[in-house]
């Protein structure tokens, strides 16, 4: 096969079968909505370590997905090859927060929808999702959940600590109790109203209590 045969091939001819204007419009909307997702993620982030790299990857993911879907929808043969190529891709990035999965799928969905030509759907859907995310994040949690660990020397100290807990918190559940030669270790999940934690100081002053530790409990709860 000569070079002239290569340039006359149907493969190179099919490359020109796309609209530059449609591509620019699609990529522009993907960029705008990707930046909107970036801002929502930044506003609703509630973790400790904010990752700028992950936030910017949401914008890039929207752009890349849009470009891929545009290529796939323009050529049936290419779509079949793309399915096979993407099936071998594996991602090893660790997801620190469950909400990060939502933003990743949001960016992917935006790219797919825009690449398929349904720009109004992407705009309206992203606006609705963004409003819902902001509203839910701004809801104040009345009863803050904690894990309380109390080290007691004997049962009398344990009873005194439990009495203070019952009077000071809205709700508590004993998660574990360890008894050994050193004493008793009581672990309880508690719900504290308005983050009032001064009762821990009173527990620590009880005779027979060697220590009281209060830590934030990040998990799922049933009301």
| Domains along the chain with CATH numbers | 3-137 (no CATH), 143-216 (3.30.70.260)
The residue among 217, 37, 52 whose CA lies nearest residue 134 is: 37
> Do 110 and 122 touch, CB atoms closer than 8 A?
yes
Rounded CA separation 143/194 (Å): 7
Pair of tokens at residue 82: 């793309």
> Do 32 and 81 touch, CB atoms closer than 8 A?
no
The pLDDT value recorded for residue 213 is: 87
Beta bridge partners of 158: none
Rounded CA separation 28/26 (Å): 5
Residues contacting residue 60 through CB under 8 Å, at least 6 positions apart: 34
pLDDT band at residue 134 under the 50/70/90 scheme: confident
pLDDT in tens, 190-212: 888 766 788 888 888 888 888 88
Rounded CA separation 20/75 (Å): 16
pLDDT at 106 > cutoff 80: yes
Eight-class DSSP state of 140: P
Residues contacting residue 196 through CB under 8 Å, at least 6 positions apart: 168
pLDDT in tens, 117-126: 899 999 999 9
The pLDDT value recorded for residue 220 is: 47
Residues contacting residue 117 through CB under 8 Å, at least 6 positions apart: 22, 26, 73
Average pLDDT over residues 98-127: 90
> Do 94 and 53 touch, CB atoms closer than 8 A?
no
pLDDT at 90 > cutoff 90: no
């Amino acid at each position: 096969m000569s070079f002239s045969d290569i340039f006359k091939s149907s493969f190179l001819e099919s490359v020109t079968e796309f609209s530059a204007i449609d591509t620019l419009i699609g990529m522009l909307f993907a960029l705008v909505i990707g930046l909107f997702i970036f801002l929502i993620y930044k506003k609703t982030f509630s973790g400790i370590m904010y990752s700028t790299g992950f936030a910017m990857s949401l914008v890039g993911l929207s752009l890349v997905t849009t470009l891929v879907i545009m290529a796939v929808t323009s050529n049936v043969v290419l779509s079949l090859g793309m399915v096979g190529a993407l099936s071998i891709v594996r991602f090893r990035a660790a997801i620190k927060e469950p909400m990060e999965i939502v933003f990743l799928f949001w960016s992917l969905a935006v790219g797919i929808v825009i690449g398929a030509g349904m720009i109004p759907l992407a705009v309206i859907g992203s606006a609705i999702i963004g409003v819902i995310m902001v509203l839910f994040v701004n809801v104040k949690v009345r009863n803050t959940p904690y894990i309380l660990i109390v080290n007691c020397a004997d049962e009398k100290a344990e009873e005194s600590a439990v009495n203070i807990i019952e009077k000071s918190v809205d709700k508590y559940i004993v998660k574990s109790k360890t008894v050994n030669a050193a004493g008793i270790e009581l672990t309880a999940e508690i719900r504290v109203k308005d983050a009032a934690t001064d009762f821990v100081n009173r527990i620590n002053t009880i005779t027979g209590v060697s220590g009281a530790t209060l830590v934030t409990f990040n998990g799922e709860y049933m009301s």
